[in-house]
Amino acid sequence: MQATIDRHDYDAIARAEAARRKGGWIVLGVAILVSLVWLAPFYYLLVSVFKSSTEYASGSPLALPQGFSPIVDNAIRVWTDAKFGWGLANSAIYGLIGASVAVFIAAMAAFGLTRLDFSGRTFWFMLIFSGTVFPFQMYLIPLFFTYQQFGILNTRFGMILFYCAICVPFPVLVLRNFMAGLNREMDEAARMDGASDWRVFFSIVLPNARGPMLALFLLQFTWIWNDLLFSTVLGNTPEIRSVMNALQVFQGAYTSAGPNIALTGALMASIPTVLLFLFLRRHFMAGLSVSA
């Protein structure tokens, strides 16, 4: 009996394999074609950043660069004209502080919501989570006005404050679900031994939530790094701008400088998050699956 089932399965597998092999070459061809279309802008980006302005203007957009050295000049121009150093440093500060503070605060809230018994927990959760319901456009004008009144418009403090706030609600959702699934016996045991709630949070729940917290940190860091809208409204001076805002301003103001220079800026602004993604893809995918 066992043998017939096995042979039966092998037959099915073999038939499926044969069918796939028959159509395989066509499918492979289509897949290659689609990938080429998808890659063309990347190819264009990579050959353009190695061209000088005259070389870019005289040759075809697809031509290979004559050498690698012009990228240094391009990068220097972006660095000085767009104040890109400020932009990169600002975005790093906003992303690191904003994302880590927000995820920590979210973990605290999730601990309060899941590890302590009190009535009305759903209400408090919904109150925090309602921060994700409204589109960003509804925050802009009031925040701009309020920031102006408190004198924190165009300051790093103001930018960090906002990024901390906007990055709290979603991690609360994820960490609440995660912490609700953690075994509560550990908490009780620690409390029996006289540990305070803070101690339980810090030494028992936090270490267990490291995985999702790292994934959330990466998601929120990337979100802050990529943000253009809030930097345009709340922090639009050369010293405060995020890197994406600096890139946009540069591209708008220096279109005559040549595409090769603006494209070098686009590449420089992208490298940090692309590297993060490549090295920590596993964690990004974990974050992706929790967010879906």
Partner 1 sequence: MSNPSESDARLLERIGAGRVAARERRARRRNFATAFLFMAPALVLVCGMLLYPVAFNVWMSFTDWRKFKGLDTFVGLRNYERLFGQIYFAEAAFNTMIWVVASLVFPVLLGLGIAILLRGVRFETTFKNLIFLPRVLAPTAVGVIWFYVYAPAGLLNYLLSLLTGEPVSIGWLYQANTVTPAIIATHVWQTVGIVMVLLLLGLSAVPRDPVEAAQMDGAKPWQTYFHVILPILTPTLVVVAIISVLAGFTAFDLLWVMGAGYPGQRTLSLVVFMYFEAFQKGGWAFGGAVAVVIGVLVLLVTWVQALLQARAERMVR
Site for partner 1 in 169-188 (CB under 8 A): 169, 172
Shortest Å, Cβ 248 to partner 1: 5
Going from the C-alpha of 230 to that of each of 101, 140, 155, 236, 290, the distances in angstroms are: 18, 8, 12, 9, 26
Which residue of 181, 194, 207, 252 would you call a contact of partner 1, by CB under 8 A?
252
Shortest Å, Cβ 7 to partner 1: 14
**Per-residue mark of binding to partner 1, 268-287 (x: CB under 8 A):** -xx--xx--x----------
CA atoms of 154 and 157, how far apart (whole Å): 9
Going from the C-alpha of 218 to that of each of 100, 118, 183, 206, 273, the distances in angstroms are: 9, 32, 26, 17, 9
Which residue of 225, 235, 240, 287 would you call a contact of partner 1, by CB under 8 A?
225
Site for partner 1 in 3-62 (CB under 8 A): 12, 16, 20, 24, 27-28, 30-31, 34-35, 38-42, 44-45, 48, 60-62
End-to-end CA distance of the chain: 43
Shortest Å, Cβ 6 to partner 1: 14
Is residue 190 within the footprint of partner 1 (CB under 8 A)?
Answer: no
Which residue of 50, 86, 162, 221 would you call a contact of partner 1, by CB under 8 A?
162
Stretch that binds partner 1, among 72-80, 180-188, 213-221, 266-274 (CB under 8 A): 266-274
Site for partner 1 in 202-221 (CB under 8 A): none
Is residue 233 within the footprint of partner 1 (CB under 8 A)?
Answer: yes
Site for partner 1 in 123-142 (CB under 8 A): 124, 127-128, 130-131, 133-142
How open is the CA angle 142-145-151, to the nearest 5 degrees? 135
Q: Tell me the two tokens of residue 22.
A: 């028959």
Stretch that binds partner 1, among 69-77, 149-157, 182-190, 265-273 (CB under 8 A): 265-273
Is residue 149 within the footprint of partner 1 (CB under 8 A)?
Answer: no
| In contact, 74 and 49? CB cutoff 8 Å | yes
State which residue, 152 or 214, has the beta carbon closest to partner 1. 152
134-161: b (≥16 Cβ within 10 Å) or e: eeeeebeeebeeebeeeebbbbbebbbb
Shortest Å, Cβ 68 to partner 1: 20
Site for partner 1 in 92-111 (CB under 8 A): 105-106, 108-109, 111
Helical H segments across the chain, by residue range:
2-48, 53-58, 70-81, 84-114, 121-129, 137-150, 156-166, 169-180, 185-192, 197-200, 206-208, 210-226, 229-234, 243-253, 259-279, 281-291
Q: Nearest 5°: phi and psi at 49?
A: -70, -15
State which residue, 76 or 288, has the beta carbon closest to partner 1. 288
Q: How many residues bind partner 1 (CB under 8 A)?
A: 89
